[in-house]
Amino acid sequence: MTEQQAGLAGDIMENGVAMTVPPGFSIDRREGHTDEYFLNMGPQHPSTHGVLRLMLRMDGENVLEVVPHLGYIHRGLEKIGENQTYLQNIHLTDRLDYLSSHINNLALCLAIEKAMGIGVPERAEYIRVMVCELQRIQSHLLWWGVLGMDLGAITSFLYGFKERELITDIFEEMCGARLTMNFFRPGGSFADVPDTFIPRVRAVVERMKSAIDEYDTLLTNNVIMHLRTKGIGVLAAETALAHGCSGPVLRGSGVAFDVRRSDPYSIYDRFSFDIPVGTVGDCFDRYKVRMEEMRQSLRIIEEAAASFPGGPYRSKKYATYNLPAGSYYSQVETARGLLGVYIEADGGPKPYRIKYRSPSFANLSALNDLAAGHKLADLVPIIATLDVLIPDIDR
C-alpha cells in the first residue's frame, strides 16, 4: 500500500467487524463509533444536481460529516484549451457553467480584449449587459424551480420553467442554441441581435415582474418553506470568505461583494442596481438574495432597453487572435459568483496555459461547514441553495 492510499483509507472496528473508512473523513479511530454509518449519496441521486457524489458519515438521520467526491464529469477543458485557438476556447467556456454560458463567454472575451487592446462599440456593450442579465435570470429561474422540487414542491419546477422558456426562446432566436449558447466574440458579438430582440426582452421583463410575485406566493411565503430553510445551513461571513465563496452564497452571509460593482466590467458602472445581502447566512437568506437579484437584473435590463443605441455590433475582426506574451486575467460575476479567467500567453494563437477560477468549486468547499450537524433532509436545501453546478466544478 502506498503512503497516499494509507493516508486516505483506514480500517475501524465496528462490532468486531473491520470497516473501511472512505477517504476524506476526519474520523477518530480510537473512539468507538458504533452507531455511525456511511451513506453514499450520488453520483446518481435526484438532488445532487448532476453527478455530485457525497459520502456522508451519519448517526441515524443526523449528518456528522460530508465529503464531496468530484471528477465524474471532468473533461479536461483547461488542458484541451491549450490546443485550441482563443476563438475556439470561447466555445469551450460554454461548457463550464452551462447555465451561465454567455457570462462565461464574456469572461474570456474580456481577457482577450484586455490583452490585445480591442475596443467594444456602444451597442455591443448594451447587448452584453442585457444578455448577461437575462442569463442570470434564466439561471436563477432554474435554481428556483429545482429548489422547490428538492423540497417536494414539484409544481414550482414547472412554474420556473414557464418563464425560463421565454428567455431561452430569445437566446435561440439570437444565437441558435437553447443550451450552451455562444454569442460573444472579442470586440462584440458574432452577429447583431434580431429586430425582435428589444420587444421580446421588454415582454419578458413585464411578464417576469408579476411572475416573481407569483413565485413568492407559491414558495417564498409558504410556512413549510420557512421551516425547511430558516436557520438551516448557516454560513458565517468569515467562513464564507475563508472558503473563497462568492456570488449569492457570499452575499447571503452579509458580504456585499459583487464583481459588477467592485470591479465593473463592460458598462455595468452606468446602471443603477442594488446588491441584496442577507443577514444570517442561512438557506433562506441565500434564497432571498437570489430572488432579489432577479428583480435587480430586471431593473438593469429595463434601463438598458430604454437607451439601447444603434451602430455597429462589433469592432474590427481578426483572422487569428495572437495574444502578446504575458499573463492576463479577467473576472465576471456569473449567476453563481466570481468566474476568473487566467491566460498565460506565449505570443501564439493558442494559450500556453489557461485556468478558470470557478465559483461553484469554492462554494462547494463550504459544504461540510454548512451541513454537519443537520439532518439528512436539510442537506437537500443546503446543496440547492449553494447552487453548485458540477460541470463548473470538474471542468
Partner 1 sequence: MEPIIDTSRFPATNAIGDFIRAILPGPVAELANIVLAVLAILTVVGLTPVALIWMERKVAAHFQARLGPMRVGYHGLLQPLADGIKLIFKEVMKPEGADTFVFFLAPILSATASFMVLTVIPFDHHLQVTDPAGGVLYVIAVAGLGIMGVLLAGWSSNNKYSLLGAMRSGAQMISYEISLALLMLLIVLLSGTASLREIVFSQTGTVLDWWIFKFPFFGIIAFVLFLISSTAELNRAPFDMAEAESELTGGFTTEYSGITFAMFFLAEFVNMFMAASLTTTFFLGGFLAPQFGLASLDRMLDAIPGFLWFFLKSYSVIFIYMWFRWTFPRPRVDQLMNLEWKVLVPANFLLLLIAGLFVVMGWA
Interface residues toward partner 1, by CB under 8 A: 37, 39, 45-47, 61, 148-155, 158-159, 162, 218-219, 222, 224-225, 227-228, 375-380
Rounded CA gap, 43 and 66, in Å?
Answer: 14
Q: How far is the CB of 234 from partner 1 (least distance, A)?
A: 16
The residue (of 58 and 235) whose beta carbon lies closer to partner 1 is 58
- The DSSP element (H or E) to which 14 belongs, if any, is strand 10-14
The residue (of 158 and 256) whose beta carbon lies closer to partner 1 is 158
The residue (of 219 and 393) whose beta carbon lies closer to partner 1 is 219
Please, what is the Cα angle at 220 between 216 and 224, to 5 degrees? 140
The residue (of 214 and 274) whose beta carbon lies closer to partner 1 is 214
Rounded CA gap, 118 and 116, in Å?
Answer: 6
- Cell of residue 127, nine digits: 447587448
The residue (of 124 and 225) whose beta carbon lies closer to partner 1 is 225
Spatial CA neighbour of 149 closest among 49, 62, 61, 232: 49
Spatial CA neighbour of 105 closest among 46, 162, 190: 190
Rounded CA gap, 354 and 107, in Å?
Answer: 12
For residue 56, CA distances in Å to 24, 282, 365, 371 come to: 10, 21, 15, 10
Helices (H) and strands (E) in the chain, counts: 16, 10
List own/partner pairs for 268-271 with CB under 8 A and 24 or more apart.
268/129, 268/300, 271/129, 271/299, 271/300, 271/303, 271/304
Handedness of CA 86, 91, 93, 96 (dihedral sign): negative
Radius of gyration over every alpha carbon of the chain, rounded to an integer in angstroms: 22
The residue (of 144 and 328) whose beta carbon lies closer to partner 1 is 144
Q: How far is the CB of 213 from partner 1 (least distance, A)?
A: 16
Q: How far is the CB of 391 from partner 1 (least distance, A)?
A: 21
Q: How far is the CB of 155 from partner 1 (least distance, A)?
A: 5
Q: How far is the CB of 273 from partner 1 (least distance, A)?
A: 30
Helix (H, G, I), strand (E, B) or coil at 380: helix
The residue (of 151 and 289) whose beta carbon lies closer to partner 1 is 151
The residue (of 47 and 322) whose beta carbon lies closer to partner 1 is 47
Match 465576471 to its residue by C-alpha cell.
Answer: 332
Q: How far is the CB of 10 from partner 1 (least distance, A)?
A: 21
Q: How far is the CB of 332 from partner 1 (least distance, A)?
A: 31
List own/partner pairs for 143-147 with CB under 8 A and 24 or more apart.
143/290, 143/335, 143/384, 143/387, 144/215, 144/219, 144/290, 144/291, 146/49, 146/384, 147/219, 147/287, 147/381, 147/384, 147/385
The residue (of 96 and 382) whose beta carbon lies closer to partner 1 is 382
Q: How far is the CB of 222 from partner 1 (least distance, A)?
A: 6
Please, what is the Cα angle at 137 between 340 and 293, to 5 degrees? 80
Q: How far is the CB of 46 from partner 1 (least distance, A)?
A: 5
The residue (of 295 and 375) whose beta carbon lies closer to partner 1 is 375
**Amino acid code (one letter) for 165:** E
Rounded CA gap, 189 and 40, in Å?
Answer: 44
Q: Provide φ and ψ at 198, rounded to 5°.
A: -60, -50
Q: How far is the CB of 54 from partner 1 (least distance, A)?
A: 12
The residue (of 63 and 175) whose beta carbon lies closer to partner 1 is 63
Q: How far is the CB of 122 from partner 1 (least distance, A)?
A: 39
